[in-house]
Structure 1
Amino acid sequence: MTQPIFTALTLRDGSLARDAWTFAPGVVPLNHGSFGAVADPVITAQRALQVEADQSAVGWFPHLPARTREARERVAGFVGADPGDTVFVPNASAGATVVFNALRLSPGDEILVTDHGYGAVTLGAHRLARRTGARVTTVAIALDAGDADVLAAFAAAIGPRTRLIVVDQISSATARLFPTAAITALAHRHGARVLVDGAHAPGLIADAARVAGGDWWFGNLHKWPAAPRGSALLVTTAEDRDDLWPLIDSWHSELPYPERFDMQGTLDITPYLAAPIAAEWIEHTFGWDQARAAMETGAEAAAEIVAAAMQPVVEGAARPRVASPAPSMRLVRLPGTLGATREEADGLRERLYAATGIECSFTSFRGVGYVRLSIHLYTTPADLDALIERAIPLLVEWSR
């Protein structure tokens, strides 16, 4: 089989897309999915907003509710949501916490999560259960489970006391899609509600909030839309959404949803104001349909290239069978028992960066460690070469 070719993207002027981002010398950025990376034009726009705030606090803070409303009106459509259903939150975990804080469960009620769930969100579900006397049940879903198998697993798990399902639209640890709309339909037939963790969905899934189907949805803007960190959205059409409150009570707390979220005191909300600039910059520079296609094509090529290099040093297939892989992320198996637990996988990220300057995510699932490749518009063939030539030999050495 001919090995695929990974091609770097270019800007309209013919320069490399990479040139729109500034990374420190020696850094190899292959971990966009964890922390994002902000393009230079967006950094410039955010810095200008921060300067404006510092030049006149009185000219800045009293006007923030109106400016926040304008920003969410601009960015809501990007995820297929109505601005009146949409609020800014600092990150996905904050969105989950807002919902968990509002729920009134009874002792014996049940919350369903999956073994693919993001740790912080799952911890929040457990805290909700402890607070209310509910219980958490984990639905086990195989990496290669198709949509029908996923639905069957939920159908078997849901019971008369199930009140809430928490499910990823795109899972972080396993980089796969879940049929959230179908899961929501199943849940509603049984009288349960669904919180969709769309942390990775904005930008990777067109109209991500609209197609998710949940009662509540949240997603990060600092990931694939490359907005400043500290910008995420919470979207809901639930009838009881006036039970949702910001994590900080501020002067607009007595206003209805969503307006009560538009004022958060003296917090630096320039990430919110710059978020639509980021989404619009990618649309203007690449086009979002083209950007999604490029990231997906790049992720598949990168996985084939890296897996071919990893295959001689791993047992079984270097590329696990993932039924519905995320558009821009792929898993490649690690050698031996390397990264077999979450703690070990997290430790590898720091260890590899310290040794090589390569930023890469490592995950574990059911006792197997993986490197999670994240491909963005700025990724180049040289990034993959560095991973193969410098990282894989070290990973093999560390696995012994």
Structure 2
Amino acid sequence: MRDLFLLAPDLVFLNHGSFGACPREVLAKQQRWQLEMERNPVEFLGRRSAELLHQARTALAGEVGANPEHLVFVPNATTGVNVVTRSFALAPGDEVLSTDLEYGACDAAWQQACAARGAHYRRVEIPLPFERERFVERLMAAVTPRTRLIYASHISSTTALTLPVAELCRAARERGIPTLIDGAHAPGQIALDLDAIGADFYVGNCHKWLCAPKGSGFLHARPDHHAQLDAPVISWGYAEGTGGHAGFDAYLGRTLFERRMQWQGTRDLSAWLAVPAAIDFQRRHGWPAVRERCHALAREALQALTRRHGLAPVAADGDWAQMVAIPVPQQDPEALRRRLYDESGIEVPVTTHAGRTFVRISVQGYTERWEIARLLDAPALR
């Protein structure tokens, strides 16, 4: 499968989790959309785009278990989180409850939003090794009368843990507390059913594990929240009229959610329109079996390195998918990352959490056994 991607042949690429990697055929589909747009930009953007985006959203909704009217495309999951942070009503003294496992950029978004309104962003410590059965209990025990929203990852970035978000959303709903789930790493890496998860807001990336082009993500929201969500840029979807321009409905969309979020002026829609091609690519290549093979390869690396260094895994086998954080002796993480790349040609992130150092490997369908072998033979990990 490696030949189906554009990765350099001598590169050991174990960092799919950061920006993904897109198959050749999906990139070709994106480029065809770009060329088609340039044949008549006015027709493409001004008269066709709403229907094209609806078709792409329908394909994505079928993949993630959602109603296409309840999701919109955004450039990435962080943008989706920012839409919620800027739109969600918070008053002085209110609280957003989260964990210490969250992605730094989204932590920053919540910290800024809370500070601007006199609210508090509180993170609950989740000890390692990870205890799945106690995760929801720990978070709900931290709820106070001022808790207005719970924010948590579906798959954590630094530690690569798959968190029990359906159980969390159910417990929060019983207490009348809305939830925002950051699924940046979930689509394509694990099977998804957003309706079953039941989050009030869910954001995800298509350009990571779903292998769509860069800049394709989505925001899913329950319909009772649509009216409160504001786009990062105010544009024609907010206008009462069309300012004398005929045909605007062709690209503004039908619903309030679509109208506000979809049209942001002239921008390249091709990454979003290529999402169905990425979904088709994975279906044709039997992705459930690919995921299993990838998990098995990642497990081999985890077992070998933890035995070598006498360190225990931080989670059970079922608590991670194709991406796993492998503990290594505590050291300068940037120095280790540089050595792995400079000495062994391995592109892999080195992460830290709670004073511990991890080599976080991502194993994707294109990963071959020789790449895992090179990681295990790397002098920096001896």
1:270 aligns with 2:256: no
Cα deviation, residue 298, structure 1: 2.7
1:176 alignment counterpart: 161
3-state DSSP class of the match of 2:231?
Answer: coil
Distance between the aligned counterparts of 1:240 and 1:225, measured in 2?
27
2:299 alignment counterpart: 300
1:249 alignment counterpart: 234
Which sections of structure 1, spanning at least 5 residues, go unmatched? Answer: 1-16
Distance between the aligned counterparts of 2:355 and 2:318, measured in 1?
21
Distance between the aligned counterparts of 1:238 and 1:389, measured in 2?
52
Correspondent of 1:71 among 40, 56, 60: 56
Cα deviation, residue 285, structure 1: 2.1
Cα deviation, residue 240, structure 1: 2.5
Distance between the aligned counterparts of 1:246 and 1:129, measured in 2?
19
Matched-pair identity in %:
35
Any runs of at least 4 consecutive aligned residues in structure 1 with deviations exceeding 6 A, and if so which? none
3-state DSSP class of the match of 1:363?
Answer: strand
TM-score by length of 1: 0.86
Instruction: Assess if the C-alpha contact under 8 Å between 1:176 and 1:323 holds in 2.
Output: no
Correspondent of 1:218 among 191, 197, 203: 203
3-state DSSP class of the match of 1:116?
Answer: coil
Distance between the aligned counterparts of 2:322 and 2:196, measured in 1?
18
Distance between the aligned counterparts of 1:43 and 1:175, measured in 2?
27
Instruction: Assess if the C-alpha contact under 8 Å between 1:38 and 1:228 holds in 2.
Output: yes
Instruction: Assess if the C-alpha contact under 8 Å between 1:76 and 1:82 holds in 2.
Output: yes
TM-score by length of 2: 0.90
1:285 alignment counterpart: 285
1:49 alignment counterpart: 33
Distance between the aligned counterparts of 1:269 and 1:218, measured in 2?
18
1:230 alignment counterpart: 215
Q: For 2:86, give the aligned amino acid.
A: N
Q: Deviations over 1:200-229 (max 9, x none)?
A: 111122224234321100111111110001
2:5 alignment counterpart: 21
CA 94–350 in structure 1, closer or farther in 2 if over 3 Å, else same: farther
Distance between the aligned counterparts of 2:115 and 2:317, measured in 1?
34
Instruction: Assess if the C-alpha contact under 8 Å between 2:101 and 2:156 holds in 1.
Output: yes
Q: Deviations over 1:275-294 (max 9, x none)?
A: 111011110122x3323323
1:386 aligns with 2:371: no
Distance between the aligned counterparts of 1:382 and 1:323, measured in 2?
23
Q: For 1:19, give the aligned amino acid.
A: D
1:165 alignment counterpart: 150
1:335 aligns with 2:332: no
Which sections of structure 2, spanning at least 5 residues, go unmatched? Answer: 240-254
Cα deviation, residue 238, structure 1: 4.3
Distance between the aligned counterparts of 2:43 and 2:11, measured in 1?
39
Greater shift, 51-60 or 69-78, is seen at 51-60
Instruction: Assess if the C-alpha contact under 8 Å between 1:318 and 1:332 holds in 2.
Output: no
3-state DSSP class of the match of 1:222?
Answer: coil
Instruction: Assess if the C-alpha contact under 8 Å between 1:227 and 1:274 holds in 2.
Output: yes
Cα deviation, residue 40, structure 1: 0.7
Instruction: Assess if the C-alpha contact under 8 Å between 1:202 and 1:208 holds in 2.
Output: no
CA 214–388 in structure 1, closer or farther in 2 if over 3 Å, else same: same
